[in-house]
Amino acid sequence: MLSQMVRGVLAVVVLAVVLLADLLTAPGAAGAEQPAGTGGSSAVGWPVRAAAADGPLAPVGSYGWPLPGFPTVVRDFDPPPHPFGRGHRGVDLAGAAGGPVLAAGAGTVVFAGPLAGRGVVSIDHPGGLRTTYEPVLASVAAGELVERGQQIGTLESGHPGCASAACLHWGLRRGADYLDPLQLLAPGPLRLMPWEGLGD
């Protein structure tokens, strides 16, 4: 029992360090770099990627936006060059404080509550994916199963570097790899139809 508690505390500490590193590198933080929007792998082998090289991350249509409608991306994914380097390990979406935050896909809530001074919800999905949402006043609890589009909380204001009244920071990981969550929304392959005969 004690070892499970220690493991749980260590997991929370690791998550807090990652989120704190992201907070300290947000725009407006002392010495923070502005996002380049380039993404990609780290020069030193730190596991961060901007795009899935081996095809889609999930079946087309499995995921949707974590805010209602089609929110504006106000800050792009910009992975750090090394584990504690400056960068942006997700995307920031413009929203309205008090508005609903939605599960991007079906999964199991693994964390819901305050962390490093802000509300965070993390959801594990099939294929080893984990999405994170912050700052969120959670309406779900760890262990709860959620469906795509289900409300998991309400958006809080105060995200550092947000150019809007409120922003949702939406993150994605597979194992230790940070990924661009916008990849989850990517459409399937395009298919061209013959022009002849259409509209006759």
Tokens of 7: 């493991």
Within-domain flag for 124: yes
pLDDT, position 163:
73
Note if the bond before 135 is cis, omega within 30 degrees.
Answer: yes
pLDDT for 23 beyond 50: no
Name the more confident of 123 and 17: 123
Give pTM, 2 decimals: 0.66
- Which residues form the domain of 93? 2-185
Within-domain flag for 200: no
Within-domain flag for 198: no
Within-domain flag for 192: no
Within-domain flag for 83: yes
Q: Based on the structure, what is the number of domains in the chain?
A: 1
Within-domain flag for 194: no
Within-domain flag for 195: no
Q: State the amino acid at position 135 in one-letter form.
A: P
Asked if 154 and 100 touch (Cβ cutoff 8 Å), the reply is: yes
Quote the percentage of the chain above a pLDDT of 70.
58
Within-domain flag for 173: yes
Which DSSP string corresponds to 66-127? SSSS---EEE--B--SSTTSSSBSEEEEEE-TT-EEE-SSSEEEEEEEEETTEEEEEEEEGG
Q: What CATH number should be reported for the domain holding residue 70?
A: 2.70.70.10
